[in-house]
Structure 1
Amino acid sequence: MPKLSHRVLVLFAFLFVFGIRVYFAAQHGTFSSDESYYVLRQAEHIKATLTPIYNDPLSYGGKFVSFLPTYHYIIAGLSFFGSNVLKLFSALVGASIVVVAYLIAADITKHKYLAVLGGLFAGLVPAFLKTSLNSLTPKVLTLVLFFVCVYYVIKIEKARGGFSLLLLFSVLLSLVSPIALLLVLVLWVYSGLLKLQKLKLRSKSFEYMLFLTFLTITFNQLALSKLGLEWGILGLISGVPSSLLKQELLGLSWVGIISSINAILLLLGVYGAYIAVQKWSEKREVSLLLSVCIVFVVAVMLRFVDLTQAVSYLGVTFAIMSVYTFGELVAYIKKLKLRLPGGLLTMLILTLIALPVLGFGLYEANSQAEKAIPNYEIRGLLWLANNSEEDVCVLAPLELGHLVTYFAKRRVIADTNFINSKDIEERLRDIALAYTTPYETNAIEIFDKYGVGYIFLSPRVKNRFGIDKPSYVADAKCFEMVYNQTVQIYKVKCTLK
């Protein structure tokens, strides 16, 4: 039987991950993330006016929104072909990390066949599936472009060309996301690690590092020009509220963090890094991958990125470094000189390692697909769009903020666009208090503060706050149930003013 080319195998791996993403996304007509509907809202505005929404009257009661709109323009163009094309695009971009991770692993380890397994594992990192499957988010394209840039940095470090392509993908990354700033930090940390080993950064890499530093700061400063008058480029840091980060950390134990990467993948990656570190002079590339890990751990601590996003980058990095472990394992098996045909023992062991990784990936893919926005929530929000005052604010939890602004087209107290948002912590506390307080006066005081005219109550909201309904809505004089299906909507009729 002829041996399959490693190029054919990586194609199969890509198609497998792409198929998983398409299959689970096709199970539901809606997207799984609240952020997807913010992207759609921006895309629809771009289609209508050719410009994104910068002064958003609905977010936080009205504010200037700072973001890079390149991804939203792409979605606006693709949306002419329908939502199914958008889901295919999301699946295609997400699955492409398989090829990118394979290219990096094959280049740094020289194990082309084993690198296919590393690429497959990268496509099945649970945290990455959680943030990207059945979702429209620039985070997916950002992660892929980030590792494409890492690949070309490795190539120019080995004097193999690719400098022009590196510049091209760096420009694209800088246009899509401020994460390009973290790539700059990765390169500076990488330079420092090389100095510790008494190695020098190649001149082309140094030129690129300076170019990328200037490029990302310039692009982001232009994009955040209004915000930059007050905070400058540092306005991007502290995007994630500290209370949410603490909630993530408290709600996600070490077991949870490890499972978000995949325990097997974590062990393989850490041991792979250990193997590579034993040969610093021959494995400069591992310094670059370790720099990625260092920077994203620090980025979480600085609240530049959320925990799940950071774990996605760590998971892909560990998947790449796991190929070192596979190479060591294969070399050890060969030393045993067992009389098994065609490397049967090697294939058996690698299969046993791969099966749990595949299982965890499929489980996470199914879990994420099941989080698709339920139609009954959409029906309730559409009712609000047709039956409520245009300038009213709707009480809804943070994770439903973009759904309210997209479907109901009404103001919200808070959503996940944290940058340039005032009093985020206070707003989050007020939302929680408004749903859970037993005191009517406390609730009405909050409603007066933000101009809340309607209370949105769905099964997700009830589960989020551990309530059946706010106790104060029993007062029919102040609260009228105006919509009663799976979702309940109450109209606020009283004020303390």
Structure 2
Amino acid sequence: MQLSRTQKWLLAIFIITLVTRLILAFTVPNLTYDSYFHLRQVEEIGHSSIPLFEDPLSYGGRTLHYLPFFHYVIALLNLFLPLGLLAKIVPNVLISLLPFIVFALSKKISNNETAALFSAFISGFLPVLFSTNAFTPLSLFLPVAFFALYCFLNIDQKGYALYFLISFFILTVTSSATFLIIVGFMIYLILSVIEKKKIKKPELELIIFSVFFYIWIQFIFFKKVLISQGIHFIWQNVPTQILTQYFPQISILNALLLVSIIPFLAGIFVVYQLLFQSQNQKPFLFISLVISTTLLSWLRLIEFNLALSFFAIILAILFSLFYVYMLELLAKTKISEFKKYLTLIIIILLLPTTILPSINFAEKQNTPLNAEIDAFKWLNENTAKNAKIVGLLEEGNLITYYSQRKNLMDDQFNFVENSEDLFSDLTALFATSFETQALDITSQHGVTHLVLTPHAQRKYEINNFRYQTSRCFKKIYNEETKIYRVDCILDKK
């Protein structure tokens, strides 16, 4: 089959995006810290066919609550390929599919293939999406979410209602962040009423179905959490001391750096035009999603990375309208002859403001060093099965994955009692200078080993624990990472 010029460009964007991502993924040796939680769940499904909802190691033993569809998909693929390879390839392939979906959505609202190609290119090189070593459900959620939106916009065409239902089902069993789309649909209905836009019957039916289906799925998987934590379920029981790390207020500077300046400024211009000056109703759904993302971020109801990722992709789609606006503007002015140079100018502006920041972002991913992983593997071979190990909060998943031992704490906070007290104790073990305080904490929680990685040394500006003594804290591993065995128990009697 002969490909058209546009199809060739689109295929080239996909290949360049994927190759760039894979090169960066395999250049950085390890995965991001949160990836190891998901690796462990995939391995458990591969062994027992059942998700690890009762975890004997996390927090010393607890009940987990999460949506397992992503993990089942990877476990199925793991029958044919090694998990270590899948963890780097599959997320990058999934994110690299975004340009195809963004192209289709952009062409739908702009009716301009060149504009849609620019949007596709931008979506392939958004810095916020260049966590090339992240193995998380977000890599599946984002492309499926925007495919669902494309199906929703084409609801009148045969088969698209079914495609929407299938994709929405996948979303609801992949991530609770589907709530963002639900809120977007609600705002879409409100804007349609305000602007006197006729709401199609199939649209209304799908929106109503989506709302109730989403609520039903969440209730099935998170019933106990909802009952026990109530409204605090929204914040995932994150300790207040680090709540701003998970739900920070989005600043203009952060948005410019992670979305890249050209798509951000162009997108804001288009949003303003559509809300206050233009009568174009085609992009109503995307304006609704911009509002829902901004609102939920401001209320700290969705995580920062998810909010900015979703926001960035929408701005990439809206860039197609910016390109069309610029063409129309130039055609009406005395400098209309410059219209033919617009494409070249945009290319010159986009290349340094998208590709370079994306590569820089990927190179600065927060991943453990090989020396740190070697230390956690050493713990697996040289400690008792019932050992309980303390590392940084983000290292908790390394303890359960590589050491296969109990940790004091990790970043899976849901359904954990006294998470704030635990985090205070964890922080104190790295920050205190008093041996009695450290022994009080280790005795209270049954801690047997302490791990001081280079990452922890930089974070707390220490080379050894300040309270470390050979009598109570014996150094048993002395490389770049240091491991201490707790030999004393504080008797409070």
TM bracket, shorter-chain basis: over 0.9
The change in CA–CA distance for 1:456 and 1:216 in structure 2 (over 3 A counts) is: same
Instruction: Please give the per-residue CA displacement for 1:239-295, whole angstroms capped at 9, x wherever unaligned.
Output: 54443232467798642343122222210111122233356543242x321222222
Helix, strand or coil at the partner of 2:176:
coil
Q: Which residue does 2:206 correspond to in 1?
A: 208
Instruction: Give 1:256-267 correspondences, 5 Å limit.
Output: 256-267=254-265
- Contact (CA 8 Å) 1:483, 1:489: kept in 2 or not? yes
Measure, in 1, the Cα distance between the counterparts of 2:321 and 2:340: 20
Measure, in 1, the Cα distance between the counterparts of 2:251 and 2:217: 37
Measure, in 2, the Cα distance between the counterparts of 1:192 and 1:210: 14
How far did 1:396 drift?
0.9
Instruction: Give 1:400-439 correspondences, 5 Å limit.
Output: 400-439=395-434
The change in CA–CA distance for 1:443 and 1:231 in structure 2 (over 3 A counts) is: closer
397-406 vs 143-152, which moves further: 143-152
Q: Which residue does 2:44 correspond to in 1?
A: 45
Q: Which residue does 2:30 correspond to in 1?
A: 30
How far did 1:86 drift?
3.4
Q: Which residue does 1:104 correspond to in 2?
A: 105
Measure, in 1, the Cα distance between the counterparts of 2:68 and 2:230: 19
- Contact (CA 8 Å) 1:333, 1:346: kept in 2 or not? no
Measure, in 1, the Cα distance between the counterparts of 2:404 and 2:299: 33
The amino acid of 1:367's aligned partner reads K
72-81 vs 248-257, which moves further: 248-257
The change in CA–CA distance for 1:149 and 1:362 in structure 2 (over 3 A counts) is: same
Q: Is the counterpart of residue 453 in structure 1 residue 448 in structure 2? A: yes
Measure, in 2, the Cα distance between the counterparts of 1:238 and 1:304: 10
The amino acid of 2:216's aligned partner reads T
Q: Which residue does 2:326 correspond to in 1?
A: 329
The amino acid of 1:65's aligned partner reads L
The amino acid of 1:216's aligned partner reads Y
The change in CA–CA distance for 1:135 and 1:107 in structure 2 (over 3 A counts) is: same
Q: Which residue does 2:58 correspond to in 1?
A: 59
The amino acid of 1:85's aligned partner reads L
Instruction: Please give the per-residue CA displacement for 1:114-171, whole angstroms capped at 9, x wherever unaligned.
Output: 11111221222222223xx122100111111111112222222x76762111111111
Measure, in 2, the Cα distance between the counterparts of 1:418 and 1:252: 23
Measure, in 1, the Cα distance between the counterparts of 2:248 and 2:218: 32
Helix, strand or coil at the partner of 2:414:
coil
The change in CA–CA distance for 1:304 and 1:53 in structure 2 (over 3 A counts) is: farther
Q: Which residue does 2:123 correspond to in 1?
A: 122
The amino acid of 1:308's aligned partner reads N
Measure, in 2, the Cα distance between the counterparts of 1:442 and 1:490: 16
Q: Which residue does 1:491 correspond to in 2?
A: 485
Measure, in 1, the Cα distance between the counterparts of 2:89 and 2:37: 19
TM-score by structure 1 length?
0.91
Q: Which residue does 2:341 correspond to in 1?
A: 345
- Contact (CA 8 Å) 1:94, 1:140: kept in 2 or not? yes
Match of 1:384 among 376, 379, 382: 379
Where in structure 2 are there 5+ consecutive unaligned residues? none
The change in CA–CA distance for 1:329 and 1:293 in structure 2 (over 3 A counts) is: same
The amino acid of 2:65's aligned partner reads S
Instruction: Please give the per-residue CA displacement for 1:203-238, whole angstroms capped at 9, x wherever unaligned.
Output: 111100111111111112111244344357973544
- Contact (CA 8 Å) 1:277, 1:283: kept in 2 or not? no
Measure, in 1, the Cα distance between the counterparts of 2:240 and 2:288: 25
Measure, in 1, the Cα distance between the counterparts of 2:269 and 2:205: 33
The change in CA–CA distance for 1:453 and 1:244 in structure 2 (over 3 A counts) is: same
Helix, strand or coil at the partner of 1:176:
coil
Q: Which residue does 1:11 correspond to in 2?
A: 11
The change in CA–CA distance for 1:46 and 1:456 in structure 2 (over 3 A counts) is: same
- Contact (CA 8 Å) 2:239, 2:423: kept in 1 or not? no
Q: Is the counterpart of residue 292 in structure 1 residue 293 in structure 2? A: no
271-280 vs 192-201, which moves further: 271-280
- Contact (CA 8 Å) 1:129, 1:365: kept in 2 or not? yes
Helix, strand or coil at the partner of 1:483:
strand
TM-score by structure 2 length?
0.92
The change in CA–CA distance for 1:418 and 1:293 in structure 2 (over 3 A counts) is: farther
Helix, strand or coil at the partner of 1:490:
strand
Measure, in 2, the Cα distance between the counterparts of 1:386 and 1:28: 26
Q: Is the counterpart of residue 94 in structure 1 residue 104 in structure 2? A: no
Helix, strand or coil at the partner of 2:41:
helix
Measure, in 1, the Cα distance between the counterparts of 2:439 and 2:296: 39
Q: Is the counterpart of residue 316 in structure 1 residue 319 in structure 2? A: no
How far did 1:349 drift?
0.9
The change in CA–CA distance for 1:264 and 1:338 in structure 2 (over 3 A counts) is: closer
452-461 vs 292-301, which moves further: 292-301
Measure, in 1, the Cα distance between the counterparts of 2:486 and 2:124: 47
- Contact (CA 8 Å) 1:70, 1:176: kept in 2 or not? yes
320-329 vs 246-255, which moves further: 246-255
- Contact (CA 8 Å) 1:10, 1:119: kept in 2 or not? yes
- Contact (CA 8 Å) 1:155, 1:161: kept in 2 or not? no
Measure, in 2, the Cα distance between the counterparts of 1:252 and 1:294: 14
14-23 vs 4-13, which moves further: 4-13
105-114 vs 227-236, which moves further: 227-236
Q: Is the counterpart of residue 255 in structure 1 residue 253 in structure 2? A: yes
- Contact (CA 8 Å) 1:245, 1:307: kept in 2 or not? no
- Contact (CA 8 Å) 2:115, 2:319: kept in 1 or not? no
- Contact (CA 8 Å) 1:458, 1:486: kept in 2 or not? yes
The amino acid of 1:79's aligned partner reads N
Measure, in 1, the Cα distance between the counterparts of 2:236 and 2:194: 31
- Contact (CA 8 Å) 1:25, 1:87: kept in 2 or not? yes
16-25 vs 189-198, which moves further: 189-198
How far did 1:405 drift?
0.6
Instruction: Please give the per-residue CA displacement for 1:4-51, whole angstroms capped at 9, x wherever unaligned.
Output: 6222212111111111111111214422x1221111111111111111
How far did 1:69 drift?
0.8
Q: Is the counterpart of residue 374 in structure 1 residue 369 in structure 2? A: yes
Q: Which residue does 2:355 correspond to in 1?
A: 358
The change in CA–CA distance for 1:79 and 1:233 in structure 2 (over 3 A counts) is: farther
How far did 1:333 drift?
3.5
136-145 vs 161-170, which moves further: 161-170
How far did 1:401 drift?
1.1
Match of 1:307 among 288, 296, 304: 304
- Contact (CA 8 Å) 2:425, 2:441: kept in 1 or not? yes
Instruction: Please give the per-residue CA displacement for 1:43-95, whole angstroms capped at 9, x wherever unaligned.
Output: 11111111110011211222110011111111212234112233221111011
- Contact (CA 8 Å) 1:453, 1:491: kept in 2 or not? yes
- Contact (CA 8 Å) 2:97, 2:143: kept in 1 or not? yes
The change in CA–CA distance for 1:243 and 1:389 in structure 2 (over 3 A counts) is: same
Measure, in 2, the Cα distance between the counterparts of 1:254 and 1:235: 28
Helix, strand or coil at the partner of 2:320:
helix
Q: CA RMSD in A?
A: 2.4
